[in-house]
Amino acid sequence: MTSHAPDNSRRRFIKLTAIGLAAAPFANALLSGTAGAADAVTEADPQASALGYKEDAAKAEKRTDATAHCANCGLYTGKAGDATGPCAIFQNKLVTANGWCTAWVKKAS
Ligand code: SF4
């Protein structure tokens, strides 16, 4: 008389291992995607270009308020003092704290 329990356990182990190995590249891709999420917005980015985004607000020709920059924009969620931070417009990318674009709105105090 033989028991099927050990065979089932071994089959299950082999199956789970195979699934794990097959999923590994996708997990790596997901982690890479997360790392890419911290990429900086470039001025050449089509959306950034359309909004006149400049990494240095002083170089933004359309800026009329000389005190306006990303760090005091209502759409900026970076920490005070950090050189870059997230912006609600450029999701998953960072803008420079000293940057500016035409979507700037005064941060509520
Ligand atoms: S919306 Fe505000 S935080 Fe975002 S790029 Fe424009 S000025 Fe900077």
Mutate which of 42, 45, 53 to test ligand 1's pocket (most atoms within 8 Å of Cβ)? 53
CA distance linking residue 83 with residue 21, whole number of Å = 39
Closest by CA to 94, choosing from 76, 81, 68, is 76
Distance from residue 57's CA to the centre of ligand 1 (Å): 10
Mean pLDDT of each 10-residue bin along the chain, 109 residues long: 58 53 42 58 97 98 98 97 97 96 95
pLDDT of residue 32: 44
CA distances from 37 to 30, 90, 91 (A): 11, 10, 8
Look up the pTM and report it.
0.69
Q: Could you confirm whether domain 37-109 is CATH 3.90.550.10?
A: no
Among protein residues, the one with the nearest Cα to ligand 1's atom 8 is 70
Domain coordinates in residue numbering, the chain: 1-36, 37-109
